[in-house]
């Protein structure tokens, strides 16, 4: 019975050899695209038929003839005959090691996906034999195809290293199963941290005690009419006379805080937004995560503003605060995240940066507000009234860290 068109061509196929499990056929052919003369190919059995033949590559094949490939099971060497330059003349017998062919071939389904959505990503994947460190295959993926088929020697460990444009590589390692069996290898890219600003490192209070708007000069001076009006019953907010020592302290802090916001705004507009716009993937979002904190002192009060505030806690549970709602330390931390995030958004929008405006309008830049609850990692209680800002790319790619600003 003829082995069929997946193996045979209109030219010559010679020196067939099959593995002991009956699942992989090695043969030589001069009728397929190759390196010259007869090249060694392999075909893997798929049910009752042979699958598409694959060239064994330049480590075995040359510009001359290669024939009689033989890879004995449980043996460290494989053998073949070759007429390549540098031999004794005619066909010489060669051997190679390690013998990755003797145990047969297994089928691996490889996918590169976004860990948030599960969507496939465009990437370049290198298949690396971990025992030798050699790259044995390279292929590209695209967002339209979920899985890619790779036939690899059985019972060996391989690393599948994927690179998505402008992102650090991610990898997945597996040990291939026995011959003729199937396994999967999935490389996942999670959210990519582009920049991180831990404002606690400045060791200044980011907020007036009990308050949630960031302590800029404008918000500090604007607090006085609010305390005489809608926030008159907000007894949890610290009171002090304008011009007092306490006022001057907060005024001094405000210079640092305004400088911090300018740093975040400048980095975002000059570095992060252009880089994201140039390399963003379908469905990918630039997410600005603002985490607020409160000091450990017991806090109870009522929210007296008209704005309805929404935020998440660290477990991604949703919260909504409306006028008249009771608030504690967690809610205060969420309010600080929300008001600080809106302040940052206003500064970014006021810059007139067209890329930011367009990406925000298209939903490609989004803000996420997180109530971090009580902060207990600072000796100075006042410095525990702070926020943390992280900018990540998520939803279309994601994974390793691109750069980090502390």
Most confident of 51-60, 245-254, 292-301, 378-387: 245-254
- Residues 309-313 have a mean pLDDT of 96
- Residues 220-241 have a mean pLDDT of 93
- Residues 184-212 have a mean pLDDT of 76
Domain holding 185: CATH number? 2.60.40.10
Asked whether residue 8 is domain-assigned, the answer is no
Residue that is last in its domain, among 189, 204, 232: 189
User: Where residue 77 falls among pLDDT bands split at 50, 70, 90?
Assistant: confident
How many domains in the chain? 3
Distance (Å, whole) CA 108 – CA 127 = 11
Residues 166 and 215 occupy one common structural domain: no
Residues 345 and 217 occupy one common structural domain: yes
Residues 122 and 207 occupy one common structural domain: no
Residues 238 and 181 occupy one common structural domain: no
Residues 206 and 317 occupy one common structural domain: yes
Residue 396 has pLDDT above 60, yes or no: no
Domain ranges, residue 153? 105-189
Asked whether residue 403 is domain-assigned, the answer is no
Give the pTM: 0.57
Residues 182 and 197 occupy one common structural domain: no
Asked whether residue 62 is domain-assigned, the answer is yes
Q: What is the pLDDT of residues 22-50, one digit of tens each?
A: 888 999 999 998 898 999 999 988 888 88
Residues 269 and 331 occupy one common structural domain: yes
Q: What is the pLDDT of residues 135-178, one digit of tens each?
A: 888 999 988 889 998 888 888 899 999 998 767 788 999 998 88
Percentage of the chain modeled with pLDDT above 90: 51
Residue 406 has pLDDT above 50, yes or no: no
Q: What is the pLDDT of residues 246-263, one digit of tens each?
A: 999 999 999 989 998 999
């Amino acid at each position: 019975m003829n082995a069929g068109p997946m193996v045979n061509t209109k030219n010559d196929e010679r020196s067939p050899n099959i593995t002991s499990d009956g699942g992989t056929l090695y043969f030589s052919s001069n009728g397929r695209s190759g390196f010259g003369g007869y090249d060694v190919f392999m075909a893997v059995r798929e049910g009752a038929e042979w699958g598409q033949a694959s060239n064994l590559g330049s480590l075995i094949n040359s510009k001359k003839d290669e024939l009689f490939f033989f890879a004995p099971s449980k043996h460290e060497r494989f053998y073949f005959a070759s007429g390549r330059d540098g031999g004794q003349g005619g066909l010489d017998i060669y051997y190679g090691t390690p013998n990755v062919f003797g145990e047969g071939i297994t089928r691996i389904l490889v996918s590169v996906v976004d860990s948030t959505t599960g969507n496939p990503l465009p990437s370049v994947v290198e298949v690396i034999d971990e025992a030798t460190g050699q790259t044995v295959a390279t292929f590209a993926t695209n967002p339209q195809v979920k899985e890619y088929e790779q036939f690899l020697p059985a019972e060996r460990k391989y690393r599948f290293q994927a690179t998505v444009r402008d992102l650090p590589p991610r990898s997945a390692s597996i040990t291939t199963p026995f011959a003729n069996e199937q396994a999967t290898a999935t490389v996942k890219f999670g959210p990519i941290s582009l920049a991180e600003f831990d404002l606690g490192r400045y060791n200044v209070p980011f907020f007036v005690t009990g308050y949630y708007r960031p302590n800029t000069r404008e918000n500090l001076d604007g607090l006085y009419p609010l305390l005489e009006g809608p926030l008159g019953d907000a007894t949890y907010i610290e009171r002090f006379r304008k011009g007092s020592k306490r006022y001057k302290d907060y005024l001094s802090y405000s210079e640092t805080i305004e400088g911090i916001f300018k740093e975040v705004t400048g980095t975002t507009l000059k570095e992060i937004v252009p880089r994201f716009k140039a390399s963003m993937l379908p469905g990918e979002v630039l997410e600005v995560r603002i985490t607020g904190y409160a000091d450990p002192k017991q806090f109870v009060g009522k929210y007296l503003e008209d704005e309805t505030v929404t935020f998440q806690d660290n477990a991604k549970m949703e919260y909504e605060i409306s006028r008249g709602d009771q608030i504690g330390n967690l809610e205060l931390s969420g309010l600080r995240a929300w008001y600080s995030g809106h302040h940052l958004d206003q500064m970014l929008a006021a810059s007139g940066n067209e890329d930011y405006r367009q990406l925000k309008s298209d939903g490609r830049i989004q803000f996420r507000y997180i109530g971090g609850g009580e902060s207990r990692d600072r000796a100075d209680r006042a410095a525990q009234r702070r926020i943390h800002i992280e900018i990540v790319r998520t939803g279309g790619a994601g994974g390793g860290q691109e750069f980090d600003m502390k």
